Structure 1
Amino acid sequence: MEFCPECGAMMLPNNGVLKCNKCGYSNELNDNAQYEVSKEINAEETVKYVEDIDMGEGVTEICPKCGHDKATYELKQTRSADEAPTRFFTCKKCKHKWREYD
C-alpha cells in the first residue's frame, strides 16, 4: 500500500499508474510490486455522527434555548468518584446541549 506524498491519501493502481483520487498526484508502478484492490469503501457511508443517531424518546426537560420540552441525556463522571455524575442534555428540537449537576 502506498500513500500520496502530497496529501497523505491512499494511492490506488489504475492502468499501470498509482494515482491519488484526492489530489490527483500520480506515480508509475514499480514492475516488481503487486497491487490489488479488492473492495473500495466510501467512508462517508459508514460513519455515524452522534448528532445523526436518535437516542430514543428522551425525558421531559425544558431546553433553555428554544423552550422545547423533550431532551435526551447521558451521564458522565466529570468530578471525583465520590461525587454525583454530571447529566448532559441535548434538546431533541434544536440540538442545544447543556448540563446539570446534582
Structure 2
Amino acid sequence: MLLFCPGCGNGLVMEEGQHCHRVACNTCSYTHSVTRKVTHGKHPKLKEVDAVLGGAATWENVDSTAEPCPRCGHPPAYFLQLQTRSAEEPRTTFYQGCNAQCGHR
C-alpha cells in the first residue's frame, strides 16, 4: 500500500529503528508510527537497461591516455568520443579506467 503525506502530498518512505517502525516524509517533518505488522510486499520487476554507449564491445579498440582514474588512481584510462548531440555540437568524450575492479567511467 502506498501512503502519501497529508501535509505536502509526497510519497512516504518506511523507516526502521531498533524498537519502532514508522513511515516518514522526505520533504517535511511528518512521521507516523506503524502499529500493525506488514505481512506482504510487492517488488516491481526492474526494467532492463540498454547499453547507451554500445556495450562492452564498444571499448575493445579504443585509445588510451596516461591520465589516471580519478577514483582509484590506476593509470592509464581508455577514452572514446561519440557524437551524442546534433552535428553543430562537439563530440562527447567518455573515459573508462583500466582497472577492472574499479570500473569507473
Common fold by TM > 0.5: no
| Higher percent of residues as strand | 1
TM-score under structure 2 normalisation? 0.37
